[in-house]
Amino acid sequence: MTDLTSDQWAEMNLLLGPLPAEERVGWAARRFGDDLVLLASMQRTSVVLMHMFFTLGLPSEVLFLDTGYHFAETLRMRDEYQRRFRLNLVTLYPELTIEEQETRYGKKLWTCADGQPECCRLRKEAPLLAHLRGRSAPVVANGLRREEGGRRAWLPALSPDPRTGGFQFSPLFDWTEEQVRACIEAHALPVHPLHAQGYPSIGCYPCTTPVAPGEDPRAGRWRHLRPAQSDDSPQYCNVNFTDGAGI
């Protein structure tokens, strides 16, 4: 774990709170240097942050986790941003192929409630942590926002991640959906085409469905594991520590 004290984390969050998001990113780049990376899912907030890293001229790695289960549209988004902005985009892969994983576990892990957490761990969390292992205190930027609710409702800009000895960094933590959309429109940024087809939150294709009007934006994630007439189902893949990873 980084040797910064809890008082120092609090001071950094007090400093970051009033700053515009782009200045938060610039501060993190100056403070953490090469230890700053961006975890990009290719959804709206990722689009905003990739553009910020580009406009600031940051050489930071932009990490994309290729689970083997992505929608084709997600992979095309990754390729489009790499071409357009010449980002230092690094695609990370799981240790096992889908076929090897199914052989080892004797089933498709994503089809059952007891297998889903392990599937997400193997195909998302494990490749990320393996890639970060060589850094003393990595700072992983993400697009999480308080407005998303749930465990994210009290999200700070910067929080420790004991898995890596570094930090989770959420420069858009206080942004609204309207601010995200306005930023995308102002810069004419390409967005994931499935957003326009009823997918406000996009993950792996076997575990993501469209959302009906009035449903929670994350209702389409792992819908097949939700008991009938119940909201009791997985909500996060846990690649972000504040969503519950490691707990």
Q: What is the pTM of this model?
A: 0.93
pLDDT value for 228: 62
Length of the chain: 247
Secondary structure of the chain: what % helix, strand, coil (to 5)? 45, 10, 45
**What are φ and ψ of residue 219, in 5° steps?**
-65, -25
Q: Tens digits of per-residue pLDDT, 135-179?
A: 889 999 999 999 998 888 889 999 999 999 999 999 999 999 999
pLDDT value for 1: 43
Q: Which DSSP string do the residues of 45-104 spell out, in sequence order? A: HHHHHHHHHHHTT---EEEEE--S-B-HHHHHHHHHHHHHH--EEEEE--SS-HHHHHHH
pLDDT value for 245: 57
Q: Tens digits of per-residue pLDDT, 34-65?
A: 999 999 999 999 999 999 999 999 999 999 99
Beta pairing partners, 161: 166
Check pLDDT > 80 for residue 191.
Answer: yes
Look up tokens 């357009």; give the residue: 84
Look up tokens 């800009």; give the residue: 157
Q: Which residues contact 120 (CB under 8 A, 6 or more apart)?
A: 237, 238, 239
* Rounded Cα distance, 125 and 123, in Å: 6
pLDDT value for 247: 33
Query: Given pLDDT bands bounded at 50, 70 and 90, which one contains residue 242?
Result: confident
Q: Which residues contact 49 (CB under 8 A, 6 or more apart)?
A: 25, 38, 40, 141, 142, 143, 171, 172
CATH classification code of 6-191 = 3.40.50.620
pLDDT value for 229: 53
Select the more confidently predicted residue: 235 or 145.
145
Domain boundaries, the chain: 6-191
